[in-house]
Amino acid sequence: MVANNTVENTQQKRLSIGIVGGGIGGVAFAVALSRDSHLDVQLFEAAPQFSEIGAGVSFGPNAVKAIQRLGLEASYQRIADSSPAPFEDVWFEWRRGSDDAYLTASLAPGVGQSSVHRADFLDAIVANLPEGIAHFGKRCVEVQQDANSATAYFDDGTLFTGDAIIGFDGIKSSVRRHVLPPEQHGEITPFWSGTYAYRGMIPTSELEAALEANGSEKRLALVPQMYLGKDRHILTFPVKQSQLINVVAFITDRSTSNPKLPEGEEWVQAASQEEMLKVFEAWGPACQAILECIPKPTRWALHELPELAHYHRDRVLIVGDAAHALVPHQGAGAGQALEDAYVLASLLTDEHCDRHSVNDVLAAFEQVRHARTCKVQRTSHEAGDVYEYAGENIGNDESKLIKNLETRFDWLWNHDPHDDVIAARQLKTVMS
Tens of pLDDT, residue by residue over 264-303, are: 999 999 999 999 999 999 999 999 999 999 999 999 999 9
The single residue of 95, 199, 299, 372 carrying the catalytic annotation is 199
Active-site residue flag, 199 = yes
pLDDT digits (tens, 9 = 90+) for 253-273: 999 989 999 999 999 999 999
Single-letter residue type at 418? H
pLDDT of residue 198: 98
In angstroms, rounded to a whole number, what is the distance separating the alpha carbons of residues 288 and 99? 10
In angstroms, rounded to a whole number, what is the distance separating the alpha carbons of residues 79 and 76? 6
Q: pLDDT-derived band of residue 431, with 50, 70 and 90 as boundaries?
A: low
Angle between helices 398-407 and 358-387 (to 10 degrees): 150
- Hey, where are the domains in the chain? 6-55+118-189+305-431, 80-116+190-304
How much is the mean pLDDT over the chain? 94
In angstroms, rounded to a whole number, what is the distance separating the alpha carbons of residues 251 and 247? 14
In angstroms, rounded to a whole number, what is the distance separating the alpha carbons of residues 368 and 379? 18
Q: Which residues of 49-87 are buried (b: 16+ CB within 10 A; e: fewer)?
A: ebebebbbbbbbbbbbbbbebbebeebbeebbbbbeeeb
pLDDT over threshold 50, residue 212:
yes
Can you list the alpha helix ranges (DSSP code H) found in 280-416?
285-292, 321-324, 333-348, 358-387, 398-407, 410-413
Domain 6-55+118-189+305-431, architecture per CATH:
3-Layer(bba) Sandwich (3.50)
In angstroms, rounded to a whole number, what is the distance separating the alpha carbons of residues 358 and 237? 41
pLDDT of residue 283: 97
pLDDT digits (tens, 9 = 90+) for 185-203: 999 999 999 999 999 999 9
In this structure, which topology does domain 80-116+190-304 adopt according to CATH?
Answer: D-Amino Acid Oxidase; Chain A, domain 2 (3.30.9)
Q: What's the whole-number mean pLDDT along residues 165-191?
A: 97
**Contact between residue 44 and residue 160 where contact means Cβ atoms under 8 Å apart:** yes
State if pTM tops 0.85: yes
Percent of the chain with pLDDT strictly greater than 70: 96
Q: pLDDT-derived band of residue 429, with 50, 70 and 90 as boundaries?
A: confident
Percent of the chain with pLDDT strictly greater than 90: 86
**Contact between residue 361 and residue 428 where contact means Cβ atoms under 8 Å apart:** yes
Q: Could you give the count of Cα atoms lying within 13 Å of 54 in the half-sphere of its Cβ?
A: 8
Q: What's the whole-number mean pLDDT along residues 305-318?
A: 97
Q: pLDDT-derived band of residue 352, with 50, 70 and 90 as boundaries?
A: very high
How do 191-203 and 244-252 pair as beta strands? antiparallel
In angstroms, rounded to a whole number, what is the distance separating the alpha carbons of residues 271 and 274? 8
Q: What's the whole-number mean pLDDT along residues 127-146?
A: 97
In angstroms, rounded to a whole number, what is the distance separating the alpha carbons of residues 263 and 103? 40
pLDDT of residue 2: 44
Q: How many residues make up the chain in this entry?
A: 432
**Contact between residue 31 and residue 125 where contact means Cβ atoms under 8 Å apart:** yes
pLDDT of residue 430: 64
